[in-house]
Structure 1
């Protein structure tokens, strides 16, 4: 899969995850669902938040892996520069 498509999927996942988390929080604190029993309101809100966290988790893992790769490249280039200065 090309990197551009992966980046678009990750961006969509970030937006969807954050939107679901915000929606779940809004449903918890709003009076919009007062007609629904409090148990159903909590279940719906918790489901939105849980799916939001679920959608945002792969992006965090992917960003961690990218940062680890960048750090590894930086450490390799720093060790190469240190070796050239010593010789």
Structure 2
């Protein structure tokens, strides 16, 4: 897998994670799901938030690592050429 495809895939994972975070928050605080469904509503909202965190946080760290690595390589090439 090329680096460009990997970065695109990581950006998609971040988008899914943020969507799940917003969905979980909406379930808990906008639609009042725990009051309507009881414990099941609370578990459903919390599960969406947890999956959103799982998707978004590690991919952000890995994506940042890739971008910093790319920037260091560009600086190294620029200093070698100039």
Task: Say yes or no: TM over 0.5.
Answer: yes
Q: Distance in 2 between matches of 1:30 and 1:19?
A: 15
Per-residue CA deviation, residues 30-49 of structure 1 (Å, 9 max, x unaligned), is 23534311x22211111100
Q: Distance in 2 between matches of 1:49 and 1:58?
A: 14
Compute the displacement of 1:63 (Å): 2.8
Structure 2 spans left out of the alignment, 5+ residues? none
Structure 1 spans left out of the alignment, 5+ residues? 81-87
Aligned residue for 1:66? 66
Whether 1:51 and 2:51 are equivalent positions in the alignment is: yes
Under a length normalisation based on structure 2, what TM-score does the superposition of the two structures give?
A: 0.73
Q: Distance in 1 between matches of 2:31 and 2:61?
A: 35
Q: Which has a greater percent of helix?
A: 2
Per-residue CA deviation, residues 2-40 of structure 1 (Å, 9 max, x unaligned), is 122112211110110000000000001123534311x22
Aligned residue for 1:85? none
Moved over 4 A (4+): 71-74
1:49–1:71 CA distance, 2 compared to 1 (3 A): same
Under a length normalisation based on structure 1, what TM-score does the superposition of the two structures give?
A: 0.69
How many aligned positions are there? 80
